[in-house]
Chains A and B, each alone.
Chain A
């Protein structure tokens, strides 16, 4: 029964793939660096979101590498602003998840032989920039906040390092930077997007598994993505209203 759907979906994807070369030109057009520079940046005009297509992720880890380079994230494998998880759902037994060094060097052999795998796929993770961020709610001093353009940021000159926000984040997206001793997290590459560039991970993704852009405009890659995919968010029951949207997300993903 399910096979029918899968096949439909496959053929749909294939059609999409034919159309996509045209559609994928959109990100190259929509964010124009020069226009930004000339007109100045007004955060009131923007509202950002990200889309992640699980079907397209190949687990190469280029996004993780690019993020660490761009944002001066400590190289040690305990600090990630974005990372990739590999899910293996075997025919029998429990789902196996791993993310060796956040997937920065790709993924080696799995713990399960291939013929025992029922489904297996990669899922990129990142701060969800929730519209109702529990981390911002708990910060006692106002050192983490939602900017006017909808990005959850940390003021590392003001953070006292109580780490309540780390406890409050359901997604494990925050860490304590051992060098600054303040909490750190994904900023959607705020210093890039406000100059009209794409976040480093989106820039780096070779398969366009990640799309990024304005959520309020209709003709943006993220709006297209939301329009033509069934969308899921992570842990919807917690009502955090994430702004990182997933297509083809498996129910096993937490």
Chain B
């Protein structure tokens, strides 16, 4: 408690202008920054999978299963930062028992469950069903038992049944696209619908969230695909990388245009809040907004990706540029989340002052916890990939 009070005293001392006395404490900390970041990755990875499935983009075939498993790994962790951030985590179940139908947040639990159970798990199961049955037959002992449980008692591997898996899977994917939109657009709505906060309150917020999610998911899959090939000592399919990076570029352009529109709109309308918001991005958010989000996260990767499309560049150089863009875009998207979540709390709702947010290393408000949460999906992915190998050769071997 003493530590908290010391921190708040410090915050008040460093605040500029006037903040309401209750605003010394910044309530949604870095845990809430990584929450939309992770759900964004999920939605983006899923959209990539659906590109292959629904829109028949053949080049992206090698990433299809990998994207689904990546989406699953991140989705399993997506609720953790939320849950950990609650002041009373043991009461979190109330979201499901007495959800307030008027609350933008209450429905998240249901959207999440719908997406996890009805879309992602179902689609993965259908896609892997035949393999799971086969793995169950081939293996022994505990492993066999594990795969047998995963078959959920299904045995039918006739051609007709496989055909049905495909059709049904396609249907799920078609349902999945709006669901993925819903999942992340919805996260944007949680912020965009707060009329008390002029930095958040915007109809564009869900759409901006959605496209930035797709960008982050595509960039993530670019990285995951390249790293997985590097680990397995396989060649990257260059046509797949080229296609993936093309989509990444298109989405980056759309995302940037939307954000620019939002920004210009605010400037041009110049409402009551513009004074404090200009101060905000000119001081507290300068680095994360102009340097990280705009320059590092958007303009540089945009230049890299455009270069690979306009100029003939060798495979190795292209790969380096793709990989670098992927990394930079992740930094950029993380900054977007930071600028929205933390930025929206750095100014007083009196519109007369700015507060501060100092990250600590340890504890529930510390930096280590969110980093651990961010790394966790990678380990989950490694395990999942071991259990359900998504590689083309695993498919071909049967």
Q: Are A158 and B25 in contact (CB under 8 A)?
A: no
Q: Are B22 and A140 in contact (CB under 8 A)?
A: no
Q: Are B104 and A138 in contact (CB under 8 A)?
A: yes
Q: Are B88 and A160 in contact (CB under 8 A)?
A: yes
Q: Chain B, 313-356, contact with A by CB distance < 8 Å: what is the 0/1 string?
A: 00000000000000000000000000000001100111110000
Count of chain B residues with Cβ under 8 Å from any Cβ of A?
47
Instruction: Name B15-74 residues within 8 Å CB distance of A.
Output: 17-25, 27-28
Given contacts A172-B348, A181-B88, contact A167 B27 (CB under 8 A): yes
- Which of A13-21, A52-60, A94-102, A214-222 is the contact stretch? A94-102
Give the docked Cα–Cα distance between A164 and B200 (Å): 13
B80 within 8 A of partner (CB): no
Give the docked Cα–Cα distance between A140 and B196 (Å): 17
- The residue on B at minimum CB distance from A162 is B86
Instruction: Name A134-180 residues within 8 Å CB distance of B.
Output: 134, 136-143, 158-164, 166-176, 178-179
Q: Are B98 and A141 in contact (CB under 8 A)?
A: yes
**Residue of A101, A141, A179, A238 ringed by the most chain B CB atoms within 10 A:** A141
Q: Are B105 and A77 in contact (CB under 8 A)?
A: no
B113 within 8 A of partner (CB): no
B392 within 8 A of partner (CB): no
Q: Chain B, 92-108, contact with A by CB distance < 8 Å: what is the 0/1 string?
A: 10110011101111101
Q: Chain A, 62-79, contact with B by CB distance < 8 Å: what is the 0/1 string?
A: 000000000000001111
B1 within 8 A of partner (CB): yes
Q: Are B102 and A172 in contact (CB under 8 A)?
A: no
Q: Which residues of B contact A238 (CB under 8 A)?
A: 195-196
Q: Are B24 and A78 in contact (CB under 8 A)?
A: yes
Q: Are B18 and A97 in contact (CB under 8 A)?
A: yes
What's the least CB distance linking A85 to chain B, in Å? 8
Count of chain A residues with Cβ under 8 Å from any Cβ of B?
48
- Which of B4-12, B123-131, B210-218, B379-387 is the contact stretch? B4-12
What's the least CB distance linking A235 to chain B, in Å? 8
Q: Which residues of B contact A173 (CB under 8 A)?
A: 22
B246 within 8 A of partner (CB): no
Q: Which residues of A contact B91 (CB under 8 A)?
A: 141, 158-161
Q: Are B350 and A254 in contact (CB under 8 A)?
A: yes
B197 within 8 A of partner (CB): yes
Q: Chain A, 38-52, contact with B by CB distance < 8 Å: what is the 0/1 string?
A: 000000000000000
Given contacts A160-B92, A173-B22, contact A140 B105 (CB under 8 A): yes
Given contacts A159-B88, A172-B350, contact A141 B27 (CB under 8 A): no
A182 within 8 A of partner (CB): yes
Q: Which residues of A contact B89 (CB under 8 A)?
A: 160
Give the docked Cα–Cα distance between A170 and B348 (Å): 10
- The residue on A at minimum CB distance from B350 is A254
Q: Are B28 and A78 in contact (CB under 8 A)?
A: no
B260 within 8 A of partner (CB): no
Q: Which residues of A contact B95 (CB under 8 A)?
A: 140-141, 160
Looking at chain A's contact residues, is the secondary structure mostly helix, strand, loop, or mixed? loop
B310 within 8 A of partner (CB): no
Given contacts A142-B98, A172-B350, contact A98 B18 (CB under 8 A): yes
Q: Are B349 and A80 in contact (CB under 8 A)?
A: no
Given contacts A80-B21, A141-B94, contact A171 B195 (CB under 8 A): no
Q: Which residues of B contact A138 (CB under 8 A)?
A: 102-105, 194
Q: Are B349 and A170 in contact (CB under 8 A)?
A: yes
B142 within 8 A of partner (CB): no
Q: Which residues of A contact B86 (CB under 8 A)?
A: 160-162
Q: Chain A, 178-189, contact with B by CB distance < 8 Å: what is the 0/1 string?
A: 110110000000
- The residue on B at minimum CB distance from A97 is B18
Q: Which residues of B contact A95 (CB under 8 A)?
A: 352
Q: Chain A, 84-124, contact with B by CB distance < 8 Å: what is the 0/1 string?
A: 01000000000111110110000000000000000000000
Given contacts A140-B99, A167-B196, contact A76 B350 (CB under 8 A): no
Q: Which residues of A contact B372 (CB under 8 A)?
A: none
Q: Which residues of B contact A161 (CB under 8 A)?
A: 86-88, 91
Q: Are B349 and A171 in contact (CB under 8 A)?
A: yes
A212 within 8 A of partner (CB): no
What's the least CB distance linking B76 to chain A, in Å? 21
What's the least CB distance linking A35 to chain B, in Å? 36
Give the docked Cα–Cα distance between A139 and B94 (Å): 11
- CB-based closest 5 A-B pairs: A161-B87, A172-B20, A170-B196, A140-B106, A97-B18
Sampled A-B contacts (5; CB under 8 Å): A77-B21, A97-B17, A125-B20, A140-B94, A172-B21
Q: A97-B17, A137-B102, A170-B196 are in contact. List 18 more A-B contacts (CB 8 A).
A: A78-B22, A78-B24, A79-B21, A96-B18, A97-B352, A99-B18, A134-B195, A134-B196, A138-B194, A140-B105, A141-B98, A143-B94, A167-B194, A167-B197, A170-B195, A170-B349, A172-B20, A178-B5
